[in-house]
Structures are given as C-alpha cells and as structure tokens.
Amino acid sequence: MDCIFCKIINKEIPSDFIYEDGDVIVIKDIHPLAPIHYLIILKEHIQSISHLENSHQEVVSKMIFTAKKIAEKLGLKGYKLVFNVGREGGQVIDHLHLHLLGGWGKIENLKLKI
C-alpha cells in the first residue's frame, strides 16, 4: 500500500521511534508546529476518525493514553492532542494519527531566565 505511515511502521522508511508497542508507534513530526510535536500512529491502517468502527474503541483509547504517558514522561504541564479529520479538517496523511503538541511552557521559562 502506498502509505507513508505504513512504510514507516514497516521500517521501509527509516525513522526514529520514540515508542513502539503492538498497537502504536510514536515519532517526531518532520515539520514540527510546536517545540514538542509527536505523532502517535496506529499500526493498523485506518484512514481517519471518520472511518472508525465500534470495534476500534479500544485502540483509539490506547492512542490517547499513549499520548498522556509520553506527555507525563516529558514533564509537560499542558499540551494539545489533535486529530485532523479529512481534507477540510487539515488531514494530509490518510492514516490515523494523533498529534501531541506542547513545550510552550518551557520556552516561557527560558525567556524568564534571560
């Protein structure tokens, strides 16, 4: 299948995995929109949130909990979790993924120290 995230998951395209288990991988976004920008990508190829079936409830919950654990490990006090859905929703890659965005607090702290 001609899907860039499937190729990353299958290691056909080299990428640094921040985390991996049986259901998800986590990688840094190649074009970060925040000081910290990770993608939690489901291993199963599902196009988007709008393509989910009831049987997917557990794995989608797993994606959110993975993001929560990574945010805790990074010491983020606040962050954004974003699913872009469809072209009108800003989705470019048609393989379900969750954006974890944060790190602004650290930048503010840095400014205060200068």
Q: Which two tokens stand for residue 28?
A: 């840094």
Contact positions with ligand 5GP (CB under 6 A) in 30-49: 30-31, 39
Residue type for 50, please?
Answer: S
Residue nearest to Zn ion (CB): 3
**How many residues in the chain?**
114
| 37 flagged as catalytic | no
| Rounded distance between C-alpha atoms, residue 69 and residue 62, angstroms | 10
User: Any contact of residue 4 with ligand 5GP (CB under 6 A)?
Assistant: yes
How many Cα neighbours within 13 Å face the side chain of 16?
5
Contacting positions for Zn ion (CB under 5 A) = 3, 5-6, 45, 95
State the residues that interact with ligand 5GP by CB under 6 A.
4, 15, 27-31, 39, 84, 90-93
Supply the residues annotated as catalytic: 97
